[in-house]
Structure 1
Amino acid sequence: MGRLVPAVTRALDILELFLDGDGTLSAPEITRRLALPRTTVHELVTTLAARSYLVPASGRPGRYRLGVRAYQLGSRYAEQLDLAAEGQRVAREVAETCDETVHVAVLEDLDVIYIAKVDSTHAVRMVSAAGRRLPAHCTSVGKMLLASLPRDDFDARVDGRELVAMTPNSITDHDRLRAVLATVRERGVATEHSESNPDVSCVAAPVRDGAGRVVAALSISVPMIRWSEEREAELAELAAKGAADLSASLGHRGGR
């Protein structure tokens, strides 16, 4: 791997700050959150604004929001990757069948990012959003994706890294995580019981591309008040079917 360019890294760090909160930031807030010199932040923000990656937030003096250039890059990414669009379509079909919340997520380092979501119509349902990022080891989609990594890739990502807890049920021990992922590989589905949200359980299945690689996972999330062993078995089968349908749309020929 080549040398990282500090100025580019800092500029990207600034852009990524806008993924959280209300989507607007001031230069002093950026300075504080990234612990960078004020002059450095001023120069980077000025450059990003000149290239339309940032623009002044309307009616909010001194604050910035993402500009049209960031949108154009995101749109081009979406055009080239049908996974998000196809994931949303399949998630909708699965949600219509079970009337529970359905997600499709991808892995980035040790986090999952939800790229598609369809809500349940029940009054009691999981609250989440496409674009949200969560620790992979706390979610069923994340366990499925981690279990699909080659061993050396998994070790490189996990060794020496803290496994943060989101609830008392979250896995924080590396050996326990490895044992759980071994079970996931055997079963072909992954489950989560109140590990990212104390009131929710989930089941997930792998999504494969045309080359057979696991590129995403599809999950069904259910409030604990509607969860049971029988329901888990039903939803595991439905998640596997939905994941297979999504895989087929991406060119996978392996069947369900």
Structure 2
Amino acid sequence: MKLNRTTQRTVEILKMISRTPEGATLDDLCEKLKLPKTSAYDIVTTLAEMGMVNVARGQKQSYTIGLMAYRIGINYTNNLDFISTIEPVLKAFSKEVGKTVFFGIPSDHHVVYICKFEPENPIITTATVGSKNPMYCTSLGKVILAYSDEETREQVINRIKFVRHTDRTILGRESLLKELEKVRERGYAFDAREMEEHMQCVGAPVFDRDGSCLGAISVSSLYKPTEDYEALGALVAAKGQEVSRLLGFLGKI
């Protein structure tokens, strides 16, 4: 069977961009994939228009994987065995704590929500399946960063553009690094009304059988001064460990 050359090149470009979290330039793509610059430019321009890649404009434009590619991937992910494995556990956990539970995965310097489980009387949350939020001001993103390997963490943090969402939002690299140290010490992270003034979230890591941080789970609810968020954090961390064990992780968190 004869394969379409443009389609092959498109797939090769997407694969390379997905493996380059810091961003791939047009020159990178042409050099490593042995592509003519005109052909590569036409492909990445089309991919950018379709939301399959993001364009970062600087001295040289660079390309990172786009939200549309993740949404397509999510449709595949929803059919994976691990989703069917963790779904009943997280659904029951949402009912147990009476709060909304999310499962998210990293997407460059954002976190993408791929599962959402709500109690009988849920609060309205802005996060939906397929949406994404910055890592530095979400509990999901913080634990993913905290438990990523050092090289990946550095690459991601270097791409973050800190933006104030509330008066509590972390706005600098050093503050974020100190926060990530605390996350590793206690085993869970807070979004202490950093993304939305009225929302408090607690997140914990989920590991795969190889010990890599696959993603994270979080519990979200309206902020209550009387809530014991440290106790909730310990509960979420324990559930993260339980989910990790279900996915074959045998190490110590």
TM-score w.r.t. the length of structure 2 is: 0.71
* Structure 2 alignment gaps of length 5 or more: 1-15, 17-27, 31-39, 53-67
The structural deviation recorded for 1:160 is 5.9
Change (3 A) 1:191 1:15: same
**Matching of residues 1-256 of structure 1 within 5 Å:** 3=29, 5-16=40-51, 75-79=75-79, 81-122=80-121, 124-159=123-158, 161-225=160-224, 227-228=225-226, 230=228, 232-254=229-251
The structural deviation recorded for 1:183 is 0.8
The structural deviation recorded for 1:170 is 1.1
Judge conservation of contact 2:109–2:156 (CA < 8 Å) in 1: yes
The structural deviation recorded for 1:185 is 1.0
The structural deviation recorded for 1:111 is 0.0
SS of the aligned residue for 2:51 comes to helix
Deviations 1:145-190 (A, max 9, x none): 0111222222222226421222221111111000000111111111
Change (3 A) 1:86 1:130: farther
SS of the aligned residue for 1:16 comes to coil
- Name the aligned partner's letter for residue 245 of structure 1: E
The separation in 2 between residues aligned to 1:198 and 1:88, in whole angstroms, is 29
RMSD over aligned Cα atoms: 3.1
Aligned length: 206
Change (3 A) 1:212 1:139: same
The separation in 1 between residues aligned to 2:156 and 2:143, in whole angstroms, is 15
Number of the residue aligned with 1:22: none
SS of the aligned residue for 2:50 comes to helix
- Name the aligned partner's letter for residue 3 of structure 1: L
- Name the aligned partner's letter for residue 162 of structure 1: K
Change (3 A) 1:213 1:228: farther
* Structure 1 alignment gaps of length 5 or more: 18-65
The separation in 2 between residues aligned to 1:71 and 1:177, in whole angstroms, is 28
The separation in 1 between residues aligned to 2:41 and 2:230, in whole angstroms, is 49
Change (3 A) 1:184 1:131: same
SS of the aligned residue for 1:8 comes to helix
Task: Mark the structure with the bigger radius of gyration.
Answer: 1
The separation in 2 between residues aligned to 1:190 and 1:116, in whole angstroms, is 19
The separation in 2 between residues aligned to 1:103 and 1:163, in whole angstroms, is 23
Judge conservation of contact 1:100–1:125 (CA < 8 Å) in 2: no
The separation in 2 between residues aligned to 1:7 and 1:73, in whole angstroms, is 23
Judge conservation of contact 2:202–2:218 (CA < 8 Å) in 1: yes
Judge conservation of contact 1:94–1:239 (CA < 8 Å) in 2: no
Deviations 1:106-136 (A, max 9, x none): 1111100011111233364534311110001
Judge conservation of contact 1:84–1:115 (CA < 8 Å) in 2: no
Change (3 A) 1:116 1:78: closer
The structural deviation recorded for 1:242 is 2.0
Judge conservation of contact 2:100–2:122 (CA < 8 Å) in 1: no
Change (3 A) 1:12 1:104: same
- Name the aligned partner's letter for residue 156 of structure 1: Q
The separation in 1 between residues aligned to 2:214 and 2:196, in whole angstroms, is 24
Judge conservation of contact 1:100–1:121 (CA < 8 Å) in 2: no
TM-score w.r.t. the length of structure 1 is: 0.70
Q: Percent of pairs identical after alignment?
A: 25
The separation in 2 between residues aligned to 1:73 and 1:193, in whole angstroms, is 30
Change (3 A) 1:71 1:170: closer
